[in-house]
Amino acid sequence: MAAHDLVIGFDADDTLWHNENIFERSHERFRELLARHHDAATVDRTLFATEMRNLELYGYGVKGFTLSAIETAIHLTEGKISAAEIQEIVELGREMLAHPVELLDGAADILATLALRHRLLLITKGDIRDQERKLAKSELAAHFHQVEIVSEKNPETYARILRRHTIAPERFLMVGNSVKSDILPVLTLGGAGVHIPYRLLWEHERTEETADAVGRVFVIDSLRKLPGVVAVLA
């Protein structure tokens, strides 16, 4: 594979900018709000179950989290939660949506360097308005040839994107923090993947399946090491 033939896809949340740490702080405040009703483990377990039940309706992102948090609070307090406390949850969601975009180390430099020789795609899932807002605030949009905001990341989604942009799977490299969403689906299609683990991972993104494809999957601990992987593939 020649270097200039390689098309590189990037995940956004927790790959280019911090995201899960915002949710972590919100979970802490949600536990505190319900602490007089239930222990933290019960709150976490019930909230996650509610989010999974609502995922098909609400999708990913802050808005779905907020609605599920309100539903969870009503359930765990047996309807006794006050309007003021519900307002606290709403405000928590607003704060998350307004949170500054904080880039991961090297994100701007590495994208600028790679964009000189490669076609770059941003492929992220979540609420379209929120993801567009974060991309605009990140000031990274100019590096991408195309931005794809999708409802789910699976082999079918990636296959549609590759067909739409006339990219052969064997010429595609996906970079992301989630083995489940960013690496495994692309390997299934015959592409390559670079896994950059983030210190936090949402439970829904965990998987027991391993990304095992010799010469097509790489694990690095920093975006700054990505050009080295690209050189190996070339």
| pLDDT tens sequence for the chain (234 residues) | 444 589 999 999 999 999 989 999 999 999 999 999 999 999 999 999 999 999 999 999 999 999 999 999 999 999 999 999 999 999 999 999 999 999 999 999 999 999 999 999 999 998 999 999 999 999 999 999 999 999 999 999 999 999 999 999 999 999 999 999 999 999 999 999 999 998 877 677 777 666 666 578 999 999 999 999 998 887
Instruction: Report helix, strand or coil for 154.
Output: coil
The amino acid present at 91, given as its one-letter code, is E
Nearest to 179 by CA among 199, 165, 191, 195: 195
Residues near 20 by beta carbon (within 8 Å), at least 6 away in sequence = 13, 14, 198, 200, 201, 202
Q: Tell me the C-alpha distance between 121 and 198, whole Å.
A: 20
Domains of the chain: 3-17+102-233 (3.40.50.1000), 20-98 (1.10.150.240)
- Provide φ and ψ at 104, rounded to 5°: -75, 155
Q: How far apart are alpha carbons 87 and 209 in whole angstroms?
A: 40
d(CA 12, CA 27): 21
Three-state secondary-structure class, residue 147: strand
Q: What is the largest CA-CA distance in the chain?
A: 63
pTM: predicted TM-score of the whole model, two decimal places: 0.89
Task: List beta partners, residue 125.
Answer: 150
Contact 8, 143 (CB under 8 A): no
> What angle, 0 to 180 degrees and rounded to 10, lies between the N-to-C axes of helices 83-98 and 20-33?
170
Instruction: Give the Cα separation of 149 and 2 in Å (integer).
Output: 28
